[in-house]
Structure 1
Amino acid sequence: MDLGLEGARVIVTAGAGGIGRAIVDAFLREGAHIATCDIDPEALGSLPDSVFARRVDVSDPEALTAFMDEALAELGGLDCLVNNAGIAGPTGRIEEIDLAGWRQTIDVVLTSQFLTASRAVPALRQSPNPSIVNLSSVAGRTGFALRTPYAAAKWGVIGLTKSLAIELGEAGIRVNAILPGLVAGDRQRRVLEAKAQSRGQSFSEVEAEAFRYTSIKEYVPPAAIASQILYLASPLGRFVSGQSLSVCGDTRMLA
């Protein structure tokens, strides 16, 4: 199926690895022009030469806004912004989490999306097919014990998404959030390992408990998330806005 994304101008944050890389690769297969940033220089080096890429710590406001300005100039405009950057944040009970860990998680997961959107919207207003897709999480719908900073930030992403959808609707800019569940990859493994250590349990015990609350008892492939984002960014998704769409195998709780 032709999604109508040939020549689309797309910015993806944290696009060199994991979910972000799957998103970048999916857009490239559709013929889109991509700009991305990532904190991992080795992963950035694996991207195709056609991708405009810069090393950026998205918790640094000056570096992030400079990247956005440079990327917009390089692309010559913008049709889709995908806010993918995120970190797991600290694992522990609320009284064990320090302010630095809280602030870093909020900065990376939520504040970075505010900063990119504020820079992107003027360019999106000039696009014939403008959209923003923000990565939230099932944790932004269910909460997540021992991962309070992460869950709070992801709930914030949903509030940001809905508010921007209302605010930008008159300009035809649609804004949606994707809520992944248990995603295949090293990051998910590290999260479960940290939880196992915090609880004094084995990895297999924590993994089994996590899947107890999902209907489809498999890790979600990053490509499945990328496919949903392609639809939302395409003209086929023109009337989908303000939505929080779970790609999680029907996860009812994060344990």
Structure 2
Amino acid sequence: MSRRVVITGGASGIGARMAERFAAEGDRVAVCDADATAVAGFAAANPGIRAEAVDVRDEAAMDAFLARIEADWGGADVVCANAGTGGPAGRIETLAFQDWRDCIAVNLDGAYLTCRWAARVMRAAGSGLIVLTSSTSGQWGHPNRSPYAAAKWGIIGLMKTLAMELGPAGVRVNAICPGAVEGPRMERMLKNQAAASGKDPEVIRREYASGTSLKTWVTADDVADTVLWLASPGASKISGQAIAIDGHTETNSA
């Protein structure tokens, strides 16, 4: 049976790969993303996936997007609150308050707006899966990335609470915690961290890998594999979990 899947931050990176993988399984998929250019490119490459330019920080725009999904589909079976930003890099005393607020808004406020809708429609349906994208930074912390780490820790607290609230209604809630994921977004973050720390970007790249037991980065497909498993019957009793997809982080000095 075809599932109804909604993914925020879905026009690039791991969100786009999750969308493509769900669509390949025959599911109806809708994505939103704040980057209108990325949305246009994604839509052209994936004509079977519904894609809209929506900023997850904008309550009215998010409510309207989700209302359109509900009107057309009647609800959702899988909702991935995936939209995020790496935020500024640097010691906390060097960071501007507005940059802090922008990072928290995208990562945490956007998840709240997404989950608020998902909780309502899934509670009414008596079933569903919500997956929130946290990070290993939300389990370990991250030097020079305090806004990002704070937001990603907040995601895990939100997930744990929603799992408690929605479990009696038959709704599962989990968080994924990717490590260093190959792709353009991480390349940009390497440059930002290098500028903040004074290290060579290639040194930071090696530190990410060497800080894991498997000595590796991960791919968008590694993350999508886990999310598709969470949406499968084999994960029907998995809820309230923060699942790291990172090769097992031992230290986070990058």
Letter in 2 for 1:32: D
What is the match of residue 138 of structure 1? 136
By how many angstroms is 1:129 displaced? Answer: 4.3
What is the match of residue 237 of structure 1? 235
Letter in 2 for 1:25: E
Q: Which runs of 5+ in 1 are unaligned?
A: 1-5
CA displacement 1:129-185 (0-9 Å, x = unmatched): 411000000000000010000000000000000000011110010000000001010
What is the match of residue 110 of structure 2? 112
By how many angstroms is 1:50 displaced? Answer: 2.2
Q: How many residues align?
A: 250
What is the match of residue 40 of structure 1? 35
By how many angstroms is 1:124 displaced? Answer: 1.1
By how many angstroms is 1:24 displaced? Answer: 0.1
For residues 186-225 of structure 1, what are the structure 2 equivalents within 5 Å? 186-225=184-223
By how many angstroms is 1:80 displaced? Answer: 0.9
Letter in 1 for 2:190: L
Identity of aligned residues (%): 41
Q: Which runs of 5+ in 2 are unaligned?
A: none
By how many angstroms is 1:29 displaced? Answer: 1.1
Letter in 1 for 2:145: R
Letter in 2 for 1:11: V
For residues 32-71 of structure 1, what are the structure 2 equivalents within 5 Å? 32-45=27-40, 46-47=42-43, 48-71=46-69
**Is residue 142–residue 252 contact of structure 1 (8 Å, CA) maintained in 2?**
no
**Is residue 131–residue 175 contact of structure 1 (8 Å, CA) maintained in 2?**
yes
By how many angstroms is 1:126 displaced? Answer: 4.1
CA displacement 1:13-37 (0-9 Å, x = unmatched): 0111100011001100111101110
Letter in 2 for 1:173: V
**Is residue 184–residue 220 contact of structure 1 (8 Å, CA) maintained in 2?**
yes
User: Aligned match of 1:153 in 139, 151, 154?
Assistant: 151
What is the match of residue 166 of structure 1? 164
Letter in 1 for 2:92: I
1:249 aligns with 2:247: yes
What is the match of residue 3 of structure 1? none
* Deviation larger for 167-176 or 189-198: 189-198
**Is residue 126–residue 171 contact of structure 2 (8 Å, CA) maintained in 1?**
no
By how many angstroms is 1:75 displaced? Answer: 2.1
CA displacement 1:170-219 (0-9 Å, x = unmatched): 00100000000010101111111111111222111121222221112222
The TM-score with structure 2 as length reference comes to 0.95
What is the match of residue 21 of structure 1? 16
Letter in 1 for 2:68: E
The TM-score with structure 1 as length reference comes to 0.94
Letter in 2 for 1:143: G
What is the match of residue 77 of structure 2? 79
* Distance in 2 of aligned mates of 1:128 and 1:51: 26
* Distance in 1 of aligned mates of 2:124 and 2:48: 24
By how many angstroms is 1:61 displaced? Answer: 1.6
Give the secondary-structure state (helix, strand or coil) at the position aligned to 1:146: coil
* Distance in 1 of aligned mates of 2:102 and 2:250: 27
**Is residue 38–residue 56 contact of structure 1 (8 Å, CA) maintained in 2?**
yes
What is the match of residue 30 of structure 1? 25
Give the secondary-structure state (helix, strand or coil) at the position aligned to 1:12: strand
CA-based RMSD: 1.3
